[in-house]
Amino acid sequence: MQTDIPITIGEETIPELTRYCREKNLDRFLLVSDENTHAVLGARVEAALKAQDWDVRTVVLGGEEVIADEETIVQVLLAAGREKWTYVAVGSGTITDITRFCSHRTRNDFISLPTAPSVDGYTSIGAPLVVRRVKMTASAQPPVAVFADLPTLCDAPREMIAAGFGDMLGKFTSLADWRLGALLWDEPYDASIARRYRGTLLKCVDEAAEIKRASPAGITALIAALVESGLFMLEFGQTRPASGSEHHMSHYWEMKLLQENRPALLHGAKVGLGTILAAGRYDVVRRLEREEIARRLTNVRLPDREAEMARIRQVYGPLTDEVIATQRPFLEMTAADFEALKRRIIDKWDEVLEIAATVPPAQEIIRLLEQVGGPTTPQQLGLSAEETQAALDHAHYLRDRFTVAKLGHLMGLW
């Protein structure tokens, strides 16, 4: 998979875009945007491409809230027809995902022009879609180039900037979960990527004050971190480095909101709240010594398979079969497997504590989110206490990953 994607961040990105297209002999474009992103950037991109006497077909998706669902996908595919295009995504996460999916399925390349530093998916291969009001991620492709127009990004709604920062803060817990899964469940891991990823995260956090101001320096740091995040996932070939228990809670809430026809909320805002909750779980882990863990585990029995499946069925309804398939490695553990896992947890508890120490306390995550104006409570996102607790209890079933949530579930910590 290509990871050497040209990335341009600056104040003159449209001329850079046309220069790139000329060098690559590109002259037929399908531009995808929504009403807001077309107004702030898409119209200028369209004009610049047409000024070169290139063939440009424009799709402006309408509606109060554009969702990457069957309706929008069909609109883009109908506009594309069977012709050869270079797709151009002018928008934030949703527009990029729609374009990523449609370009991939029509065997065309796409170029990304982000309009807000709100997500880390600009350079990823995954396209989160909503099919029959159920959230899923389809494998697609990264862009062949990214042109991030800095004035547009600085003028993005502040809640979208805060969401992007929340998505980056989620790497504290996702990186910890990634290492935890490798330590206790033999999941794939790359220490070099993890080290570089953490360096990118810390640089972004250092710019929190500038990000709050939406200054060019702060927004450059944020969009660069978000783009690098996608590149790290691309390099590893999976989302594990960037998606841990905090993302699983976000996915859980999003699925529930979609099923109830409630506003889906910004991805990064949900991730920020999930990061607070996941960091709280790591707070609990840090307070436990090896002797207490050993004592606790003597009384813990292998979770009952039928009881686990009944819980999944109650919580996930029509998604039960898919979730059960995802959880098969856990559901099919034998008593001997579980005893071996408990022994490993005890033997490696010092390393578990080292991992937990890499996650800031939940209160520090709250402080950082508040600094940039991001939501920090379920109430600010319109989530009830029951919905918050349900995500804490059940979101770990969504992925076959050993996270701090799975550790606590198996150990009976919460």
36-46 pLDDT per residue, tens: 999 999 999 99
In this prediction, residue 26 carries a pLDDT of 98
Beta 86-91 vs 110-114: how paired, if at all?
A: parallel
Q: Taking residues 298-310, report their average pLDDT.
A: 95
Torsion of CA 11, 17, 19, 22, to 10 degrees: -170
Over residues 2-32, the pLDDT tens digits come to 568 999 999 989 999 999 999 999 999 999 9
Over residues 159-181, the pLDDT tens digits come to 999 999 999 999 999 999 999 99
Residue 122: pLDDT band (50, 70, 90) is very high
Cα separation, 142 vs 104, whole angstroms: 9
Over residues 281-293, the pLDDT tens digits come to 999 999 999 999 9
Q: Taking residues 87-92, report their average pLDDT.
A: 97
Q: Taking residues 75-103, report their average pLDDT.
A: 97
Cα separation, 342 vs 346, whole angstroms: 6
SS (H, E, C) 353-388: HHHHHCCCCHHHHHHHHHHCCCCCCCHHHCCCHHHH
What is the enclosing helix (H) or strand (E) of 227? helix 216-236
In this prediction, residue 3 carries a pLDDT of 65
pLDDT over threshold 70, residue 385: yes
Over residues 252-264, the pLDDT tens digits come to 999 899 889 898 8
In this prediction, residue 156 carries a pLDDT of 98
Cα separation, 102 vs 94, whole angstroms: 12
In this prediction, residue 2 carries a pLDDT of 57
Burial of 63 from C-beta contacts in 10 A (0-12 / 13-18 / 19+): exposed
In this prediction, residue 334 carries a pLDDT of 96
The CATH code of domain 159-411 reads 1.20.1090.10
Q: Taking residues 137-143, report their average pLDDT.
A: 93
Over residues 200-254, the pLDDT tens digits come to 999 999 999 999 999 999 999 999 999 999 999 999 999 999 999 999 999 999 9
pLDDT over threshold 90, residue 134: no
Take residue 257 and report the two structure tokens written for it: 């909101």
The helix/strand/coil state of 48 is helix
Whole-number Cα distances in Å, 211 to 156, 161, 205, 246, 310? 12, 8, 9, 22, 45
Q: How far apart are the first and last CA of the chain?
A: 40
pLDDT over threshold 80, residue 1: no
Amino acid identity, position 379: Q
In this prediction, residue 119 carries a pLDDT of 94
In this prediction, residue 100 carries a pLDDT of 97
Domain spans, the chain: 7-156, 159-411
Which contacts qualify for 233-237: CB closer than 8 Å, 24 or more apart?
Answer: 233/120, 233/123, 233/124, 233/125, 233/126, 234/1, 234/2, 234/3, 234/123, 234/124, 234/125, 234/142, 235/3, 235/193, 236/188, 236/190, 236/193, 237/1
Q: Which CATH number fits domain 7-156: 1.10.287.3510, 3.30.565.10, 3.30.70.260, 3.40.50.1970?
A: 3.40.50.1970
